[in-house]
Structure 1
Amino acid sequence: MAPTAQHGQEVRQRLLAAAAELIPERGWTAVSTRVLADRAGVTPSVVHYHFSSIQDVLAEAAVTAMSQVLAATDELFTAAITPEAGVDAMLASVEQYDGTDPMSLLFTETYLAATRDEQLRERIATLVTDFRTRVTDWLTIHQVAEPAATAAVLAATIDGLLLHRSLVPESPALTTVLRRLVR
């Protein structure tokens, strides 16, 4: 890669990293071009050189971060030997998120922004659908009844759990209930 192309990629990555930090810190709507540029160490015009709008950079940063979290969860889940172990792995993959940590806040802010941005909603829906499909395929291999519906419930439960963690303590029976779901 030519030095100028490499530099451009580095700047773009700094903008995405800064956006991923700012979304949970300030909230989606409080991230301006100037704030993003300051955090990334560039001028505001550089933001618009790399992205058509502030919404585009925020969406790209959020969807990338969400994809990475889902990929890590997927990797742990599909490495499990039994459906019950898969549930345990899925729950373990989200233990690090307490509902108030930056990644939980990024998910929450992004979901809220998606209610007002059709393109963002579609991108997140694609992530969710792809994740559910992979879980469905894994559940099918392990002969779990109604694998597509079970995958949808598991995915929604994990999302709900993350949203609720900042509000109320987790039920100790959650693991038992979800394990029963996949038996």
Structure 2
Amino acid sequence: MTSNRRIGTESSDTRRQLLIAAGELMREEGYAEVTSRKLAQRAGLKPQLVHYYFRTMGDLFEALFKFSTERYLAQLDRIATEKAPLARLFELNSDPAGATMQLEFLALANHRKEMHELIAAFGQELNTRVATIVRAEFADQGALFPNVTPEEIAAILEAVARGLAFSGRFNEDRFAGTRKVVSTWLQAVATNPRP
């Protein structure tokens, strides 16, 4: 049964402040440490405000996931219009902070079915959007890969970038060097189209 109590609006600056603070806590301490008390303290607000904007912690995590993915998709839209979008896409996906959030959401999905469903739906949307960028870039560059779809190339790029980001948390020097090699190669693909 859903509570009839009043709840804060989604467009509120305070709600946004709570979501930003929740993301910081999640990256630094893990999702299990995101409590209403810690969140309120991080945001500099009273603990009651957390539940004014989010009925349950489950609601908070769902809102945080949607907030994070909306910001990510907005970055993808910008990347699609830039030069060397594959290199920019790789840089975005190999960001260690983003990788940490992804790991925390995946761990959370093991305990919350609704998070699992949100992540699965976002994964499909993400692969479709990234494949569109890959398809457009390959068409511009005249690159052809027989028997490989843009969706498969998108999945490979994402997996390599995320894998590097995850390992970069433990071996920063190797991560930085490898990230630079891949990024430089993708930049070269963009600036040296096939005749």
Interval containing the TM-score (normalised by the shorter chain)? 0.7 to 0.9
Counterpart CA distance in 1 for 2:34 and 2:69 is 18
Map of 1:124 onto structure 2: 119
Q: Percent identity?
A: 25
What TM-score, normalized to structure 2?
0.69
Conserved 8 A contact 1:18-1:36 = yes
C-alpha displacement at 1:120, in angstroms? Answer: 1.3
Q: CA 1:104/1:155 → structure 2, altered by over 3 Å: closer, same or farther?
A: closer
Which residue of 51, 56, 64 maps to 1:53?
56
Aligned mates of 1:153, 1:79 — CA distance in 2 = 21
Residue segments in structure 1 that go unaligned for 5+ positions in a row: none
8 Å CA contact 1:27, 1:109 repeated in 2:
yes
After superposition, the C-alpha distances for 1:2-37 in whole angstroms (9 at most, x for unaligned) are xxx78x823222221221221122211012111112
Aligned to 1:136: 131
Q: Distance in 1 between matches of 2:160 and 2:73?
A: 14
Indicate conservation of the 8 Å contact 1:62/1:107, yes or no: no
Quick check: 1:15–1:57 contact (8 Å CA) kept in 2? no
Question: Is the aligned partner of 1:65 residue 2:68?
Answer: yes
Q: Which residue of 1 aligns with 2:3?
A: none
Quote the RMSD (CA, aligned, Å): 3.1
The separation in 2 between residues aligned to 1:104 and 1:43, in whole angstroms, is: 30
Give the Å deviation of 1:125.
2.4
Q: How many corresponding residue pairs?
A: 169
Query: How far apart, CA to CA, are the structure 1 residues paired with 2:66 and 2:166?
Result: 18
Counterpart of 2:86 in structure 1 is 87
Q: Which runs of 5+ in 2 are unaligned?
A: 1-7
Could you report, residue by residue, the CA deviation over 1:24-73 in whole angstroms, capped at 9, with x for unpaired residues? 22211012111112223333332222212123213322441243134314
**CA shift for structure 1 position 133:** 0.6
